[in-house]
Amino acid sequence: MAASINELEEAMTVSQTTRWVYLFDEGDPLRRDLLGGKGSGVAAMSQAGIPVPPGFTITTEACNAYNDADHQFPPGMWEQALEALAGVERRTGKGFGDPENPLLVSVRSGARFSMPGMMDTVLNLGLNSSTLQGLSRLTGDPRFAWDSYRRFIHMFGRIVLGLENSPFEHAFENAKVRAGAHHDTDLDAQTLMEVAGEFKAIVQKATGQPFPEEPLEQLRHAIAAVFDSWMGKRAVDYRNFEKIPHDLGTAVNVQAMVFGNLGQDSGTGVAFTRNPSTGDKTLFGEFLLNAQGEDVVAGVRTPLPLTELARVMPTAYAQFADIAARLERTYRDVQDMEFTVERGTLWMLQTRSAKRTARAAVNTAVAMAQEGVISREEAVQRVDPDQVVQLLLPRFDPQDLEAAQKAGRLLGQGIAASPGAAVGRVYFDPDVAERQAKAGELVILARPETSPDDVHGLIAAQGVLTSRGGATSHAAVVARGMGRPAVVGAEDIHIDPEAGQMRANGRVISAGDWLSLDGGTGKVYLGQVTAIPPRFSEEGDLRELLSWADEFRRLGVLANADTPQDAQQAREFGAEGIGLCRTEHMFFQLDRLPIVRQMILNAGAARDGDATARAKYQEALDRLLSMQRTDFIGVLRAMAGFPVIIRLIDPPLHEFLPSYDELLVSVTRMEAQGASGADMQEQRALLQRVAQLREANPMLGLRGCRLSILYPEITEMQVRAILEAAVALAREGVTSYPKIMIPLISHVNELARVRATLEPVARAVLQEAGVDIAYRFGTMIETPRAALQAGRIAELAEFFSFGTNDLTQMTFGFSRDDAEAKFLDTYVSEGILPDNPFQVLDQDGVGQLLRLGTQQGRATRPDLDVGVCGEHGGEPNSIAFCHEIGLDYVSCSPFRVPVARLAAAQAALAHAAAERDH
């Protein structure tokens, strides 16, 4: 009993002290964490005197409390909501549930981070049989009243009561057919009244209960439904994709309704202060006459461009343009705004920072810095590093596009809503699209229009196509935010999800057929159009932004490159050297593989003293020496004046030989056919050597420095090739800085043995040439023991490079291929791990080995260069950690170099800001 009393007292204390609800003119606009983005925006606009319908915000804390209490409102919240509702009644002069002068409200979500369309909204709440008549009398427009009521029943039934959408859609479409109506606006009051009756019957049949009439009951259930939508599937999928935490909660905004569906002097729209696709400084948006906001964002009607508003409602447009400019100046960022015009009067419903394409993000950041709106530091911090990747994705080959058009493969054209080239097999069901993508297919999602429930299919798709909707519809906004190419409002393309096909230009396209979408032109092609690489040199604003980033970053950015072509590409992207040149990749070229196999097949016997094998072994090494020398000349020349870290041979030797199983089948077949002679002997010898080199776990077997110890002649050849290449370039006047990396050290004695073997070779080359080259020997730290013994290892290593791919495998005890194929997705989706540790550095485990290894290494050798050369070197969160622990550089693939440059600058700026705060 005592516990119950304590709980009651605690609940009473919370209800008395916790404020769950704020009127728009009371909330602190800076508290996005509490009011959510939408609540923060309407609070700021209300307090700035901008025309905003009055309302109130229920906080994100209330949502979290609701979820923690098993879907019960926290103590005091409902009472505070009723008090705030009374305040809205006073401000509007209307009464909630008053049949004579009814107040209707919208109930909308509003999380801290923008999640367009991922949670629920209910409009026209408060309508019932009594208030409907009052609304009709007040407006003198029965058609408008019944239109609002049928919308409310539909939304409430689908969102709050959880009913399927299709029965409502079928009933509405049948009503349009009976009335001979093409558009929703063609239906008269009598038809809409009949539709509302059919909708109520659908609710009664599905729930066994009549549609709720009591406005307060409607409001209570709607608020709960918005809270519940925070953990809905589409919201969770979206947050997983955008890496938004699941514990933030959503606010709920209850706002007096204003109506865009009151006739031809009313309308609703969505607009941006700059073009969200290109970043151009021009007011961009769309609107619909005689409509409500959901009509625009849902894409059920294809809207008009915002410029038309200037023609049909010039006064409202001029006021809107002035407010838009004011909002951009206030927030110092591109704004995404929703508005309604009710009988000529403009009302602002929302403002928030706009979702935009990668190109728009970069162009806008640079333009605003050049305009003096923001600083260069802010411009660098405005662009998500992963957006840089989108600018460097392939585009369609103009010649192939022309050929496709001449061949009659152009299916149609819609609105170019999100740029980029997308090629994939088309599917019309988001569940199927997701399933096929998980099976490894490239997919295109095609829908008449998308709804928020389709987001999982959109995440899985390469691009999205809709036959209805505009550039501000749900599909367009979400696709832009995710970097997906999108073509929307392609009205000449008839998409039929139920039949699993679409019809366009006299063709029938079925599920699984190939499509190509050009999100930059809005054109849709049948089949696969060839894509070509982008031209970094043409990305002027991106290059400018990255030049600013280079001024702020401390970390060096190097590239993983194995060929002169890779090295040259890396330099074009701004790499300051090569952090990993994998010499074994050079061995896989077809003209070299026979020589490499000759070396491997004779290495063991040569080591055992077989003179013939020794001669063949040396012959192969000599031929490879010449080839490797040429390789290194090309790579070092491309990186003239910059360091090049060359890793000596690392993988197990069997990787250069045929598959054991395939070879065994081949030899068995030859024996069965009675084959003999030299070919048979050669195949048997090859099978025997492959069998000798087979290992139960090759990743932990004979590889890395262990190869150098057993077969020192291979790495001696490689070191000679590296130094002879550097000497040849020096004689041409080209400066090079080769750094020779010995892989997979676990014990300092391994490094001592290998370096003692290789150092004399390097010295001999330079003495023979009479040339001085600034070379270094270092090691790759990729085993936990090496990280723990880094202080000892640094006695012999002049630089460290953390190989985080192998270090992650060995720290977790995971085989990467098996883990990613079998269970890592489950680990991440069920919260066992926050991220795939092979994609995002595990800072608490692997990261601590990096921190410890760096500290111990520099305690021994203060000038020790330390970097990362695994895939994590191009991942922004991992780069921030590398900055934090004081690494000197990160190395990544050439195409990730621009990403790393930006991420390194953001890490430095964030670190400096944190230090200032302290």
DSSP code per residue over 562-594 = -SHHHHHHHHHTT--SEEEEETHHHHTSTTTHH
Q: Distance (Å, rounded) from C-alpha 667 to C-alpha 686?
A: 10
Amino acid letter for position 89: E
| Torsion on CA atoms 339, 382, 35, 157, rounded to nearest 10 | 50
Top pLDDT among 189 and 674 is at 189
Burial (CB count <10 Å: 0-12, 13-18, 19+), residue 641: exposed
The C-alpha angle with vertex 396 and arms to 391 and 397, in degrees rounded to 5, equals 125
Residue 157, pLDDT score: 94
Question: Within 208-313, where are the H helices?
Answer: 215-229, 233-242, 293-297, 307-312
Residue 810, pLDDT score: 95
Q: Distance (Å, rounded) from C-alpha 240 to C-alpha 836?
A: 12
Q: Which one of 27-31, 485-489, 542-546 scores highest in mean pLDDT?
A: 542-546
Say which range, 128-137, 586-595, 736-745, has the weakest mean pLDDT: 586-595
- Give mean pLDDT, residues 318-345: 94
Helix (H, G, I), strand (E, B) or coil at 352: strand
The model's confidence at residue 3, banded by pLDDT at 50, 70 and 90, is very low
Please say if the pLDDT value at position 476 is more than 90: no
The model's confidence at residue 591, banded by pLDDT at 50, 70 and 90, is confident
Residue 14, pLDDT score: 47
Say which range, 695-704, 716-725, 751-760, has the weakest mean pLDDT: 695-704
- Buried b / exposed e along 449-473 (16+ C-beta atoms within 10 A): bbbbebbbbbbbbbbbbbbbbbbbb
- Give mean pLDDT, residues 256-264: 87
Residue 332, pLDDT score: 94
Percentage of the residues of the chain whose pLDDT score is greater than 70: 97
Q: How many CA atoms lie within 13 A of 85 on its CB side?
A: 23
Amino acid letter for position 370: Q
Say which range, 12-26, 39-53, 372-386, 387-401, has the weakest mean pLDDT: 12-26
pLDDT 10s digits, 517-536: 998 888 999 999 998 877 78
Q: Distance (Å, rounded) from C-alpha 774 to C-alpha 723?
A: 10
pLDDT 10s digits, 177-234: 899 988 888 899 999 999 999 999 999 999 999 999 999 999 999 999 999 999 988 8
Please say if the pLDDT value at position 5 is more than 60: no
Q: Is 569 in contact with 578 (CB distance < 8 Å)?
A: no
Top pLDDT among 90 and 242 is at 90
The model's confidence at residue 4, banded by pLDDT at 50, 70 and 90, is very low
Residue 491, pLDDT score: 87
Q: Active-site positions? A: 474, 869
Residue 20, pLDDT score: 97
Confidence (pTM):
0.78
pLDDT 10s digits, 421-474: 999 999 999 999 999 999 999 999 999 887 767 888 888 999 999 998 877 676
Supply 847's token pair.
């990261």
pLDDT 10s digits, 798-842: 999 999 999 999 999 998 888 887 898 889 888 899 999 999 999
- Give mean pLDDT, residues 864-885: 95
Residue 472, pLDDT score: 66
Q: Distance (Å, rounded) from C-alpha 532 to C-alpha 529?
A: 10
- Give mean pLDDT, residues 97-111: 94
Please say if the pLDDT value at position 850 is more than 70: yes
Residue 579, pLDDT score: 97
- Give mean pLDDT, residues 68-79: 96
Neighbours of 438 (CB within 10 A): 11
- Give mean pLDDT, residues 613-639: 94
The maximal CA–CA distance of the chain, rounded, in angstroms, is 109
Mean pLDDT for all residues in the chain: 90
Query: What is the residue-wise DSSP string for 125-139?
Result: ET--HHHHHHHHHHH
Residue 2, pLDDT score: 37
The model's confidence at residue 160, banded by pLDDT at 50, 70 and 90, is very high
Residue 543, pLDDT score: 95
The model's confidence at residue 674, banded by pLDDT at 50, 70 and 90, is confident
The model's confidence at residue 116, banded by pLDDT at 50, 70 and 90, is confident
The model's confidence at residue 299, banded by pLDDT at 50, 70 and 90, is low
Q: Say how many Å lie between the first and final Cα of the chain, rounded.
A: 48
Question: Within 54-97, where are the H helices?
Answer: 60-68, 77-92
Percentage of the residues of the chain whose pLDDT score is greater than 90: 66
| Torsion on CA atoms 880, 881, 886, 887, rounded to nearest 10 | -90
Q: Distance (Å, rounded) from C-alpha 519 to C-alpha 465?
A: 9
